[in-house]
Amino acid sequence: MKSKIKSILLAGVALFIAMALINYPKEALNASIRGIDMWWGTVFPSLLPFFITAELLIGFGVVRFIGVLFEPIMRPLFNVPGVGSFVWAMGMASGYPSGAKLTTRLRQEQQLTKIEAERLVSFTNASNPLFIIAAVSVGFFHNEKLGILLAICHYLGNALVGVCMRFYGKNPPESSKKKPSKLSILKAFKELHKTRIEDKRPFGKILGDAVVNSVQTLLMIGGFIIMFSVFTKLIQEFGIADIFATGLAYLLNLIGLPSELALPMFSGLFEITLGAQLISESSVTSLLPQVVVLSFILAFNGFSVQAQVASILAETDIRFAPYFFARILHGIFASILAILLFKPLYLNKEVMNWQTTPVFNQLTSNQWTDFYQWFQSIGPIITLFSIGIAIVVLFLRSINRENLF
């Protein structure tokens, strides 16, 4: 019975999207263009170097080296192996869904158990600093100081989620018998050498696989970004967003937040960039409620990112449910931290008159904006160049296979 209901629901959603595309072709086209511009100019060129580098580091044993080195820290704190430190750092630097991609890769390499992978993926998918500071804080709010507050709330909340998720699941019986490993650089180097020797692929093969796998993953991510951009626009045109926003406004009033943020928040639950832009354009005069709601949707990741993560995790036995629960928990933590840190990290800096000269020059709002616009201008060139390399690698592979036969 449940299977039949699920089939009806899925067919209904697909039918609704098809009808909406027919009724609103112009709006769907504009939303699709907006989604592909975001992927083409920002997402692809920003994530590709991290994905390729991560594949190379895994293939050459560097990740295993890091894992042995950081085992004494990651195991007591987050109850995951030391390789989790690499995933955590890369996830923060490059943004979602890098954490899911790298966790899946390590699970396939048998460097993580199923439970450890579910713990790790729950706190390693974060927004990258460039998006928080340049796109959201400077681009939408025209205030670079706000970016520091949002970033601290976001990353500190993520760490708290990791500490909470350490109690999720049960470790295998044999792992409880192991004594905590001590810091040993010599042992880490031995594991690095062992991992490199076991991988029989030549350097060219490893590099080619890294490029092709990364491009394939980013093409999938681009499809999700475009589809959810269109879907979000269609539910707005049909008035469905207004209906759900009315219910969300009631919940916001219960916790003391203005109802004007209901529709922007609902949009942000689907697509973060659109939600952040609508929050910045809302009629709310106080900045604190905007920061609280914005912190929540940044931590929640949006259904668009969650769909990308679900698709990546589907390649393994890692379940999606712990990740989804962690996103709600992260949203709560980030919102509470925004309330607690708003005065010391934002208001006090606004009224404080610094008499000292900083050692390093700080980027102004115009400099952040110029850097972000420059990155978007070269993004399509990087995208085209990378896809071209992937096509050449695939073509050479096909020739080699034909020669073998």
DSSP 6-20: HHHHHHHHHHHHHHH
Positions in the chain short of pLDDT 50: 176-177, 352-361
CB 305 within 8 A of CB 125: yes
pLDDT at 306: 92
Q: What is the distance between the alpha carbons of residues 131 and 127, in angstroms, rounded to a whole number? A: 7
Q: State the sign of the Cα–Cα–Cα–Cα dihedral 118, 123, 129, 131.
A: positive
Segments in 199-239 forming alpha helices (H): 203-237
pLDDT at 120: 94
pLDDT at 129: 84
Predicted structure pTM score: 0.80
pLDDT at 114: 93
At position 375, the amino acid (one-letter code) is: F
pLDDT at 231: 85
pLDDT at 334: 95
CB 145 within 8 A of CB 321: no
CB 119 within 8 A of CB 322: yes
pLDDT at 355: 42
